[in-house]
Amino acid sequence: MRTINLAVVGATGLVGEAIIKLLAEREVPVGELHVLASANSAGSRVTFGGRSLTVGEADQFDFSRVEVAIFAAGAPTSQALAPLAAEAGALVVDLSPAYRYDDAVPLIVAGVNDELLAQARETNMVACADASTVQLLRVLKPLNDLAPVQEVVVTQLQAASATGRSGVDQLAQQSVRLLNGMTPSEDARAQIAFNALPVSGQIQENGYTSEELKLVLESRRVLAGQPLSVLATMVRVPVFYGHGQSVTVRAVQPLSAGQAITVLEGQPDLDMQENEDPQAMSPVAMVEGEPTVRVSRIREDMEGTGALSYFSVADNVRWGAALNAVMIVEKLLKDYL
């Protein structure tokens, strides 16, 4: 496999750092790696494969120097710079929500709809699905191959890192203050430490939040071509890294727990957990920093309606976001670059 020159925009953020580590760990054949961020972070250093690299300013970079540019810096940066990178000839892999609903840009969950990467050169852009969508669909895809899924009900226990480094810092600071007998915060931010918040994102006119609608709309777009009802509830919980998802699925024909276990056990990056030990059934702490999703508690509906339920956990930063982007780059390099 030939080497490529690659840029990571947002290299000093949580997801950017995880992407750089995975590029080295998975031995992606990178020739020159350009690590980029805002002017505030320019000049800092990051490590890649034993080398120390200086962070450059993203808005000053000549993207014609690279073949692939991974954007992990948020929607405003992607909206401003990704089109410029694409026009310069770089194939943009964007992790922000900026282009996820653009019909001209393929929305990808690696291992689920890779075939759409054939369209990437039409606009020189690929949109990565949100980490929540990746976690949901990577488990649903094998079940959907057994029998097309019609209805999904998912309750997500969302980690603080879903909002980036600021969310992690907020949880840490509030925890320290509460453990020292102080109020959780000096400002008006909601208490997340030792708490559970039933709202994640902004509440919309229909009562759902922006985070819930994101999961619904992205899932329907990735699993296009079939009628799919998705009902989502997002709950923010005091966990630094790792989303938990309690999922109930109904397909066009009943799925047994045995069928689900058999098909999921054969999937890469999926780890099936035995149900005999309650302490080992996919606790979130088991997946922090791990490039895998763990699935447990697979069970059939007691009323015999054909529904199937399970619980999954995955590191939203390393697995849901960073690994999905790196796997997309690997697929592009193998088949389309």
Q: Mind listing the pLDDT tens digit for each residue in 220-245?
A: 999 987 888 999 999 999 999 999 99
> Do residues 41 and 94 touch, judged by C-beta distance below 8 A?
no
Distance CA 22, CA 248 (A): 32
Note down pLDDT in tens along the chain; length 337 residues: 689 999 999 999 999 999 999 999 999 999 999 999 998 898 999 999 888 999 999 999 999 999 999 999 999 999 999 999 999 999 999 999 999 999 999 999 999 999 999 999 999 999 999 999 999 999 999 999 999 999 999 999 999 999 888 899 999 999 999 999 998 887 767 899 999 999 888 999 998 999 999 999 999 999 987 888 999 999 999 999 999 999 999 999 998 999 999 999 988 888 887 666 666 655 667 677 777 899 989 999 888 788 999 999 999 999 999 999 999 999 999 988 8
Distance CA 102, CA 116 (A): 14
Distance CA 54, CA 36 (A): 9
Within 8 A by CB and 6+ apart from 277, the residues are none
Q: Provide the angle, in degrees to the nearest 10, between the axes of the packed helices 131-146 and 257-265.
A: 120
Smallest CA-to-CA distance from 249 within 94, 136, 163 is with 136
Tokens representing residue 332 in the block:
């592009």
Smallest CA-to-CA distance from 261 within 315, 299, 232 is with 299
Tokens representing residue 173 in the block:
């600071």
Q: Mind listing the pLDDT tens digit for each residue in 145-155?
A: 999 999 999 99
Residue with tokens 């899932």: 219
- The domains of the chain, with CATH numbers, are 4-128+321-335 (3.40.50.720), 133-316 (3.30.360.10)
